[in-house]
Structure 1
Amino acid sequence: MTDDEELSVADLVGKRLLRVTTAWHHHAEDEPSLLHLWLHLEGLGPVLFHTPGTGLSLRTDQPHEPYSMEQDGHVTVTNDSPNVPVARFVGQTIRSVREIRYRGVGIDFAAGLTLQFPGASIRLLALDDDLLLACDQHLGPVEASLHEDVTLARVVQTCHGFPSQWDAWTTGGQYLYLRYRRGEGSVEQHPSEDTDAWDGAGSRLWTTWDDGTGGGIIDLADFLAMAGLRLAPEAEISGTSG
């Protein structure tokens, strides 16, 4: 990777977090606000998460030096930042990256990402030009407008073991291919179940993990728990022998 190279969310899946760097904006008497976040990822280097406007931008970029912002305060840069929520995941591998959308009256935009690690997940949000990190906390009224397409309306098991695999559709209509083989689970997004359409821009890796068992059989409930997915209350579940 070269500096200033734009990244897709799929580039982050399966990468190990090595360290965290943050840049904080100090202005007058206000509490410092998070301006930039760099996640140093194995195989990618430092990845900058920032808010150039609406939504969240990702690119490879070296952390900046501290600098002044003329009449608008100054910026400090902290390497190996221990006090930000994402620092708790240093040494862990990103299992899944999912888009978070903000939906309101006449408004619909990509507001951030959920990064799922083996033990828990964290949301990186770009709201009102601010960068917010949230592990477990509820963000108040804004929560009603934040949506992840992780609820499955229909699941069809196409193979029961070696591998265990399913075709699945979210409540938002997105097709997902679920697969578990040799202890490795994966979730792929594709335009449809038609494999001839799997090479285009509508395809990407959502989730990957290796549980170390080498197994080829897993039940749906355990797979969904590992993948960060869930069933809708009225989900249609069916299957055929494979």
Structure 2
Amino acid sequence: MTDDEELCAADLIGRRLLRVPTAWHHYPGVEPSLLHLWLDLEGLGPVRFHTPGTGLSLRIDQPHQPYSMDEYGSVTVVEASPDVPVTRFVGQPIRSVRDIRYRDARVDFTAGVTLQFPAGSIRLLALDDDLVLAHERDLGPVESHLHEDVNLARVVQTSGCFPSQWDAWTTSGQYLYLRYRHGEGSVEQHPSEDPDTWYGAGSRLWTRWDDGSDGGRVELADFLTLAGLRLASGAEVSSG
């Protein structure tokens, strides 16, 4: 991939985090604010998380040099930012990238992503043209407008072992294909359970991990925990 190339979420899955450069906007008399964040990923390079307006943009982009902005302050670049929460995951692969939508009476857009690592997860959000990192903290009133499609209303097991796999539907109606084979778990989004629909724009990888066991059987509860999914209240679970 080349510099300034826009990425989709699935491009990040499985990539190991190497370092976290950041750019900070300095205004006179106020605390510096986070302007840009890069995740330097193995085999991919630095990915810039940017807020161009509404939503979040992901692009291959080298960290910029520090620059001044006259009366608007200045920008400094920190090559490694130990105080930024996502740096606790340096050395770990990204297991999952899930969209976070912002919905209210006026708008509905993708406001950010949840990045899941083996040791935990973090939300990266674009709110009011600011890049917000939410690590194990509540964002107050805005939380009621943030929605992540992780609650399953219906799960049908289609294979009990070698591989373990399920058809699943979220509470919003999104179909997911869950599979565990040779120690590798994956979650794929598709338009429907019909494989003939799996090759268009409505399909993408949500989650992938390898536990190193080469196993082929896993319990649904353990799979959902590893995948960052959960059963909704009253969810229907059955065998196909």
TM-score (norm 2): 0.99
Task: Look up the SS of the partner of 2:55 in the other structure.
Answer: coil
The residue aligned with 1:47 is 47
The residue aligned with 2:99 is 99
Task: Look up the SS of the partner of 1:222 in the other structure.
Answer: helix
Cα shift readout 1:153-211 (whole Å, capped 9, x = no counterpart) = 00000000000000000001110000001111000000101101111011110000011
TM-superposed CA distance for 1:221, in Å, is 0.3
TM-superposed CA distance for 1:215, in Å, is 0.8
Superposition pairs for residues 1-242 of structure 1, below 5 Å? 1-240=1-240
Query: C-alpha distance in 2, partners of 1:54/1:39?
Result: 21
Structure 1 unmatched runs, 5+? none
* Number of residue pairs aligned between Structure 1 and Structure 2: 240
Which amino acid is the alignment partner of residue 47 of structure 1? Answer: V
Which amino acid is the alignment partner of residue 92 of structure 2? Answer: Q
TM-superposed CA distance for 1:110, in Å, is 0.6
Which amino acid is the alignment partner of residue 31 of structure 1? Answer: E
Cα shift readout 1:107-159 (whole Å, capped 9, x = no counterpart) = 11111000000010000000001001111011111111111000000000000
> Cα RMSD between the aligned structures?
0.6
TM-score (norm 1): 0.98
Which amino acid is the alignment partner of residue 106 of structure 1? Answer: R
TM-superposed CA distance for 1:105, in Å, is 1.2
Which amino acid is the alignment partner of residue 133 of structure 1? Answer: L
Task: Look up the SS of the partner of 2:158 in the other structure.
Answer: strand
Which amino acid is the alignment partner of residue 170 of structure 1? Answer: T
TM-superposed CA distance for 1:18, in Å, is 0.4
Structure 2 unmatched runs, 5+? none
Q: Which runs of 4+ in 1 moved over 4 A?
A: none
Which amino acid is the alignment partner of residue 16 of structure 2? Answer: R
TM-superposed CA distance for 1:70, in Å, is 2.3
